[in-house]
Chain A
């Protein structure tokens, strides 16, 4: 009960925030991307957290989503909302395709195989110029504003859509985690062989997690395309910019927990912006350097993520409150 109340308060506060920020301004853009990356990290969390498979190639599905909806819009005038569903389907399919050869791979091998797959998609997008516009990238065409066309003059609707996406993905994550699938994934995580013995179809469960995760992040690709308006293969299929970043966000916050990606995103993205704001004009590379140092320090301080800090605060609080 208390938890539901706390959750409701958080969501309400989050819903109010875009109203308080200047519509044309910078902070609402940062908020939108923060929410978006939180949602992306949450989709990753399904595979990276619940299934304990560190994927470093989620950009593959994200990019597929971004390109699918944008290409459909450019070539056929299809609304990005429908394009998003198409992207989700293709993203899920791609996740299925890559899951099969990587099914048996352990930890680091899996990570690098998925990274390779992300690169495969990036090169394809770069080379298949007639479809994707090649390295020059794509611009989402300007259409008159309207919800059905997913076109807005100002940023507030984008922020709300990103918030809604985050809520939805988190809800799905929690549903999986608390449900039968989560139970099976936990079993696999602890001991795959034993799980098989008790009747868990490990292949099927892992595939399901992969496809859901891939489809979700692909749909978020559409959201990104509509906010960013311009992107190229390096942006949406980027290892550093997308794949590693969302894994980092989930891990900094606390991988495998619902709050983790959210905490992580609200830490990492504003921090990057702050560093750029304060330091980038002073010396080339300084803002990134300080960011890197802070990153190292945070991981050393809390290797299991911020969630452990919250956990210990809550524990201390309840100890203080209890007689």
Chain B
């Protein structure tokens, strides 16, 4: 029974890890950049949702599209002004540029919003549903559902819309895409903005159970990277699988090992998976 509960909890939490991380893998998939600042957009998304809750009375889940929009706009500018300039630079320069952006956003938030810990109170925070003797936490369930919806929307977008297909084309072969008339610069902006917007969306969705402060994104960085690399960098399906896998591994490890070691177990599994499948669980190598 505790095994089932653990699987259930792991899946619910994992679904959320997935929605937060999808953006990261999208950015990598289209642009080849590992965006270390991605988690800072989680912070931005959470702050936007918090202010929407505090001043407009909006439930964070409803404010998620707003978080998406704000992060999208900021991401558009960041890509155009900063990232675009290093697209042809060595990949290490690109990585460390994003590290710089991480520092700027985190400390900018500290200056703008202060260091307090802000959380929301919603009606469903302390409720959980009972399924037999299993508990299903409502905030997690809602977050999980939103994640599914978000993932489905992204999947549809990438398959069915012109933009989505253009982005995939750019990811596959930028030169060929340009020859086909696709404005690859625009595609890069879209991909980055979309990617960070998705992470911000995820931030709003988890606000009911995570407290926001300027450093909150930093707490998720390693987790996000583990999720996307485990699933396979660049693969949206990989991010989903990776997210669920990470959630379940953490939950199951807590049954057997001390909870303190849950990340240790996760990382060892992660390294072993990569040793056997260097491209990640689902990943296609870029």
The answer to A–B direct touch (Cβ < 8 A) is yes
Provide the residues of chain B in CB contact with A117, threshold 8 Å: 267, 271
Given contacts A123-B261, A289-B108, A289-B111, contact A109 B233 (CB under 8 A): yes
| Structural contact, B91 and A107, CB atoms closer than 8 A | yes
Given contacts A112-B225, A247-B92, contact A104 B86 (CB under 8 A): no
User: Would you call A295 an interface residue if the criterion is a C-beta within 8 Å of the partner chain's C-beta atoms?
Assistant: yes
| Structural contact, B107 and A286, CB atoms closer than 8 A | yes
User: Would you call B56 an interface residue if the criterion is a C-beta within 8 Å of the partner chain's C-beta atoms?
Assistant: no
> In the complex, what distance in Å separates the CA atom of A116 from the CA atom of B226?
8
Of A14-22, A197-205, A221-229, A299-307, which stretch is located at the interface? A299-307
| Structural contact, B108 and A295, CB atoms closer than 8 A | no
> In the complex, what distance in Å separates the CA atom of A169 from the CA atom of B189?
42
Size of interface on B: residues with Cβ below 8 Å to A: 47
| Structural contact, B82 and A296, CB atoms closer than 8 A | yes
* Chain B 99-117 interface residues, beta-carbon cutoff 8 Å to A: 99-104, 106-108, 110-111, 115
Provide the residues of chain A in CB contact with B263, threshold 8 Å: 119, 123
Output the nearest chain B residue to A116 by Cβ-Cβ distance: B267
> In the complex, what distance in Å separates the CA atom of A300 from the CA atom of B279?
30
- B15 to chain A minimum Cβ distance, whole angstroms, is 22
Provide the residues of chain A in CB contact with B102, threshold 8 Å: 292
Among A101, A104, A112, which residue has the most Cβ atoms of chain B within 10 A?
A: A112
Majority SS at the chain B contact face: helix
- B265 to chain A minimum Cβ distance, whole angstroms, is 9
What's the interface size class on A, roughly?
35 or more
| Structural contact, A108 and B267, CB atoms closer than 8 A | no
| Structural contact, A248 and B34, CB atoms closer than 8 A | no
| Structural contact, B274 and A54, CB atoms closer than 8 A | no
| Structural contact, B104 and A289, CB atoms closer than 8 A | yes
Among A126, A289, A293, which residue has the most Cβ atoms of chain B within 10 A?
A: A289
| Structural contact, A251 and B111, CB atoms closer than 8 A | no
Provide the residues of chain B in CB contact with A247, threshold 8 Å: 92, 96
- A299 to chain B minimum Cβ distance, whole angstroms, is 5
A-B residue pairs, 10 tightest by C-beta: A292-B103, A303-B89, A101-B275, A285-B110, A289-B107, A303-B93, A296-B100, A295-B100, A292-B104, A285-B107
Having A108-B28, A117-B267, one finds 5 other A-B pairs with CB under 8 Å, namely A113-B274, A244-B99, A285-B110, A295-B100, A299-B96
